[in-house]
Structure 1
């Protein structure tokens, strides 16, 4: 693939007929590499309403402790190499965490991938406004991180084998084989998930029966390819006004899993006093086995 400011072109080397397909760059600054046959719905991924709610909620700083922890864990990993890294943020969403990663020294290319076009479009617009897109970076300046916003499936990543130094998956699906394929030998994988008791009081108010988060259930699936280096927990107390609580519900699966009357009752309660709950997260740092 040959990236350019207006159109990306594949060189045809992997096509039986050597066809060189073009992929136009959207005016917002993203490239759609999701084939129609990989779509499970007309508009896969998070909706525009969910993206906008998450933007407002995260911009208010409610999940900033998680953002800070991720940055803290990435910096020493990137500092171990003399060459700048290619980093993949899978399920990047609207880019709250991705944009923080773009400020970390040591990343040459930051590939932001999500199946949701509204999410990637939002990230691309913000990155373009900040002058962070790949075609906005001076070629002679290797210290700047170039952001590549891509609409694509995590299960079918359009990346060469062993081409990225690290992967972050924040509240996104875990795909051991796909991740191991594109990671270089001894590359790193950082995973963030809801921890036990995450938003417990909110879930108790919305559901008659609450099933606890099983945060580490996927670790055994990663074991053939990865070694767990560290586990970190972070939590933050939230005191939410009605508008923030509405955004939190909209940006989570609770928006459609909880009954409408339960959601409405909780929102009415928060009109009179802030709703208190606790956000709890767990972050895993893993390293790929050499040769897998």
Structure 2
């Protein structure tokens, strides 16, 4: 596939029918590579309302500590002398509206593929990157500020439109964990950076919304990764938050709690925050893994 500013063209050499295809670049700057048959609903992924709520909430800085930790770990991996001498491709899977993606553009990779199944989310990311000169075809601006070239893609994580062994690293921030797919896309000794909610994440909020609170078990997926990846390091970070009713409403909307909790519970919690700011703690765990040489 050959990317260009207006249209991406596939020559068909890798499919059995040798059929060529073209994919138009949307005016916002993203490319939709999600076939209809891979959609499980009319509008898969996060809704526009969820994305707008997440933007408002994240812009307050409550999750800056996690953003900084993720970028710090990626930067440490890519600043190794063996990595700085060659072009680096990185995949941010489940990129959402781009809060973490945009911060990653300064971490030393050359090409940053930002993929999500939500069209509204990728549209938002593309708008941001286009306005700041970060898209792949804005090479002049990219050269000036040394940011990575961003490729915003609407696609299915389980069917990545990437060649085998084409990326040096993958970040998955609160997104799906697909061991075989990730191992296939990564070069030998490539990296995987995963962020998940840690035990105790938003505990007071969950206690207010649910009668039966299940604790986060972030380590549970490490076993399925073991055949393909070696765990290099684990880092934890937390942030105390004092939330107004508006910020609390946005936090609920951007989490699964918005539809899992009963309406009367949500209303009661928001009403209480109108009278007194709500206190809770965000707790995250970040795993750094490396692909095993024998994987796949």
TM-score between both structures, scaled by the size of structure 2: 0.96
* Partner Cα separation in structure 2 for residue 27 and residue 124 of structure 1: 9
* Partner Cα separation in structure 2 for residue 67 and residue 127 of structure 1: 17
> Which residue, out of 236, 240, 255, partners 1:233?
236
* Partner Cα separation in structure 2 for residue 58 and residue 139 of structure 1: 26
Q: Which shows bigger deviation, 230-239 or 73-82?
A: 73-82
Check conservation: 1:78, 1:107, Cα contact below 8 A: yes
* Partner Cα separation in structure 2 for residue 245 and residue 273 of structure 1: 12
Matched, 1:23 2:26: no
Q: Which runs of 5+ in 2 are unaligned?
A: none
TM-score between both structures, scaled by the size of structure 1: 0.98
For 1:41, the equivalent position in structure 2 comes to 41
Deviation of 1:140 after TM superposition, in Å, equals 9.7
For 1:108, the equivalent position in structure 2 comes to 110
* Partner Cα separation in structure 1 for residue 247 and residue 123 of structure 2: 23
Superposed, which structure 2 residues align to 1:154-193 within 5 Å?
Answer: 154-193=157-196
For 2:156, the equivalent position in structure 1 comes to 153
* Partner Cα separation in structure 2 for residue 91 and residue 60 of structure 1: 21
Deviation of 1:15 after TM superposition, in Å, equals 2.2
Superposed, which structure 2 residues align to 1:1-292 within 5 Å?
Answer: 1-80=1-80, 81=83, 82-104=85-107, 106-138=108-140, 141=143, 143-292=146-295
CA-to-aligned-CA distance 1:134-182 (integer Å, 9 cap, x gap)? 0011399494410000000110000000000000000001000000000
Where 1:88 maps in the other structure, the secondary structure is strand
Q: After the TM superposition, list the runs of 4 or more consecutive aligned residues in structure 1 that deviate by more than 2 angstroms.
A: 138-144
CA-to-aligned-CA distance 1:85-136 (integer Å, 9 cap, x gap)? 10000000000000000122x2110000000000000000000000000001
Q: Which shows bigger deviation, 112-121 or 130-139?
A: 130-139
Question: Using a 3 Å threshold, how does the CA distance of structure 1 residues 185 and 97 change in structure 2: closer, same or farther?
Answer: same
CA-to-aligned-CA distance 1:49-84 (integer Å, 9 cap, x gap)? 000000000011010000000111111111121213
Q: Which runs of 5+ in 1 are unaligned?
A: none
